[in-house]
Amino acid sequence: MIQRIFQKIYYKLIGISSEQLTLEANLKAGMKVGKNCYGLQGCIIDYAHSWLIEIGDDVVFAPQVYLLAHDTSTKRSLNYTRIGKIKIGNNCFIGARAFIMPGVTIGHNSIVGAGSIVSKSVPPNVVVAGNPARVICTIAEYETKLKSTFEGAPKFGEEYTLEFSISDTMKHEMIEKMENSVGFVK
């Protein structure tokens, strides 16, 4: 809560209103977003340069992804701020709290792991993760490993979600079945 208060004070000092932090404000300022994108409302988008951000179709953003089309660290040395386009291809997944930096293109069908700092472009059809983000494997390799994990893992239907009012008994069942492993929910 204190962090949010300081953040609001900071935005007020630099002249950014809370309205400018909305997805609608960024779209109005020129950010391009394709069809069927999910999760952008929970992202931090560089309003000051949002027209440099282009997002393809069917992209999913986990919470608190940062899309930064500028880098002010150059201001002291050059008296200029470095800026660059951000392009995210179709069918991508961007993990929670990933940072996408200026000048980065993320190729179609790629996955960015949670907490990654993406400072260089990402080829299509790969999984990247880390700081700085590096290619971990191809999407085909990832899916093979995922299917192998899925085979022996506990599985739960959509009734095991908050949307379908999961019961306390069902919550405990999930906890017990995933004592030493991960599971999957519909």
Pairing of the two strands 32-33 and 53-55 = parallel
Contact (CB, 8 A) for 122 and 138:
no
Q: Which of 49, 70, 108, 172 is catalytic?
A: 70
The whole-angstrom separation of Cα 174 and Cα 168 is 10
CA atoms within 13 A on the CB side of 143: 8
Query: If 0-12 CB within 10 Å is exposed, 13-18 middle and 19+ buried, where does residue 114 land?
Result: middle
* Annotation marks residue 108 as catalytic: no
DSSP H helical ranges for 30-132: 75-78
Give me the phi and psi of 105, to 5 degrees please. Answer: -115, 130
Residues with Cβ within 8 Å of 53's Cβ and at least 6 positions away in sequence, in order, are 26, 31, 32, 45, 46, 67, 69, 85, 86
Burial 74-88, CB ≥16 within 10 A → b, else e: eeeeeeeeebbebbb
Catalytic center residues: 70
